[in-house]
């Protein structure tokens, strides 16, 4: 099966060239992630990181939930828009990748705004009592719809849910040849599109970003 590029590489490169550069700490984190992790492509990076940062700065959230920390690049970008006493809860199953992020949480001065949870998000989320302004999902794709259902009542009206990788490298275009991750995303995308409780837009940035506004 032919799978087209969701975004032509030349246009993506052009977009990167015309996106504000990350600060020095994010640049260092980006380099260290590529040097020390097996799947560095999982990092948000310059364009998507700046998008998340701008959304957070516009919303000025009090509470954020991030499902999938990796090395913390997106965590830092999201945390940059928190109000003075705001917090971001971030969850990941891999303590080694999170350990990279911890250093940069301190370097950026955001350490006291970031609450790290290591373990299974499906088990951790029910024990977090906060109501969230923003939820960002970037974890195991098979569970996207489970995460969505689990967090929905924890998002305030007018709050945002965002989900990364909703193109899954174009594999979402054909159910029959889709892998389990792609099928998980297809189920999620289809459910959101038909959910009358929300407004949504699928944004063609990098590997696709679903933005969902709770009514």
Question: Is this prediction's pTM over 0.85?
Answer: yes
Of 7-11, 55-59, 111-115, 181-185, which gets the smallest average pLDDT? 7-11
Q: Is the pLDDT of residue 145 over 80?
A: yes
What's the mean pLDDT in 84-108?
96
Q: How many domains in the chain?
A: 1
Task: Match 């955001």 to its residue by tokens.
Answer: 110
Does the residue 81 lie in any domain? yes
pLDDT confidence of residue 2: 61
What's the mean pLDDT in 130-149?
98
CATH of the domain at 176: 3.40.50.150
Does the residue 4 lie in any domain? no
Does the residue 37 lie in any domain? yes
Does the residue 158 lie in any domain? yes
What is the tens place of the pLDDT at every residue in 147-201? 999 999 999 999 999 999 999 988 999 888 889 999 999 999 999 999 999 999 9
Q: Is the pLDDT of residue 137 over 80?
A: yes
Name the token pair of 85: 């006493």
Does the residue 192 lie in any domain? yes
The continuous run of DSSP H or E covering 146 comes out as helix 144-151
Angle at which helix 95-107 crosses helix 24-36, to 10 degrees, equals 160
Does the residue 3 lie in any domain? no
Domain containing 165 equals 9-214
Does the residue 2 lie in any domain? no
């Amino acid at each position: 099966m032919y799978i087209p590029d969701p975004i032509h590489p030349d246009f993506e490169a052009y977009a990167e060239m015309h996106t504000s550069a990350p600060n020095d700490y994010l640049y260092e984190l980006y380099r260290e992630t590529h040097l020390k992790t097996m799947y560095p492509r999982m990092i948000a990076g310059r364009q998507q990181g700046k998008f998340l940062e701008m959304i957070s700065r516009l919303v000025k959230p009090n509470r954020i939930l991030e499902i999938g920390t990796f090395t913390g690049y997106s965590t830092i970008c999201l945390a940059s828009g928190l109000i003075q006493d705001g917090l971001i809860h971030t969850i990941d199953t891999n303590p080694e990748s999170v350990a990279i992020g911890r250093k940069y949480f301190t370097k950026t001065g955001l350490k006291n705004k970031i609450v790290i949870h290591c373990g299974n998000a499906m088990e951790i989320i029910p024990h977090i009592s906060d109501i969230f302004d923003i939820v960002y999902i970037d974890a195991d794709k098979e569970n996207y719809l489970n995460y969505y259902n689990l967090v929905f009542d924890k998002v305030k009206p007018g709050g945002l849910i965002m989900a990364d990788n909703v193109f899954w490298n174009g594999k979402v275009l054909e159910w029959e040849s889709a892998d389990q991750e792609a099928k998980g995303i297809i189920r999620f995308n289809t459910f959101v599109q038909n959910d009358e409780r929300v407004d949504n837009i699928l944004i063609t940035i990098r590997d696709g970003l679903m933005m969902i506004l709770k009514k």
